[in-house]
A and B are shown apart, each in its own frame.
Chain A
Amino acid sequence: MIETLLLWLFAGTALVAAVLMLVLRHPMRVALALTATMLSLAGVYAMLGVHVIAVFQVLIYVGAVMVFMVYAIMLLDVRDRSFTRRFSSLLLPGIAAALLFLAILAHGLWQALPEPTGAAGGTLFGLKRFSAEFLNDYWLHFELVSVLLVAAVVAALAILEVGRRLRG
């Protein structure tokens, strides 16, 4: 009972923070709202019993990606037109398109999904089972994704080098 309650509390917090992301003005507040969303999603994952993913969500998303984002916001504190006017001219068509998209998605999901069976609480798979399955069955994906990460690091260095050359 309490697990279900907490699950819905976390999911509701995630949704509210996501809506806040759209209406807040300062990028730093948007970043804080996104951090709130990610932390509540980590809570949802923990409530679903997938603790490994919850830990990685906090470590990688909140710990690495959002800290990087906050540094970028600190470096780029520019008060320009995007600060005084939050929304672009696509506001009304964008809302219409997003609603249409959500309706299509809901329609498709409504027909395709089986009845949900899983209940909240309890450990679904711990670190042991996750690691064993990951490195036994999905080792190729693991290696490929590490190649992707190396390529991303090289690309970031290349971008900075191009910028240095452009500035002379």
Chain B
Amino acid sequence: MLIATSAALFALGLLGVIVRRNVLVMLMCMELMLNGVSLSLVTFAQQTASAAGAVLVFLIFVVAAAEIAIAIPIVLLLVRRKNVLDLDAYTDLKG
């Protein structure tokens, strides 16, 4: 059942990334997806009583911290340029 919970968390995060407009909210939904994955890893680690899953979760924490440390400056620069948080405003690369 915890695996089902983690799958639901991942799907909710994916839905948030697709559906919401706000850049910061989309970033937070990506964090939610990472949390769903780490819940499944912890559940597997508990079921198999091995430390590998827990180690992987620890590495995911570091990756999430690195991701947010790069994403936030990018968002800051984007918003300073256009003063909009709506992702639909950033269509500069659209052909």
Residue numbers of A with Cβ under 8 A of B are 11, 14-15, 18-19, 21-22, 27, 30-31, 34, 37-38, 41, 44-45, 48-50, 52-53, 56-57, 60-61, 64-65, 68-69, 72-73, 75-76, 78, 80-83, 85-88, 90-91, 93-95, 97-99, 101-102, 105-106, 109, 113-114, 116-118, 124-125, 129-130, 133-134, 137-138, 141, 145-146, 148-149, 151-153, 155-156, 159-160, 162-163, 166-167
Contacts and interface: CB of A to CB of B under 8 A. Distances in A.
Interface residues of B, number: 69
A138 B51 CA distance: 10
Interface string B52-95: 00110111011111111110111111011101111111000000
B75 A82 contact: no
A75 B23 CA distance: 14
B54 A156 contact: no
Interface of B: 1-5, 7-16, 18-25, 27-29, 31-32, 35, 38-39, 42-43, 45-47, 49, 51, 54-55, 57-59, 61-70, 72-77, 79-81, 83-89
B7 A102 contact: yes
Contacts, number: 235
Nearest to B66: A152
B87 A18 contact: no
Closest A-B pairs by Cβ, 5 of them: A152-B66, A94-B18, A82-B86, A82-B21, A98-B15
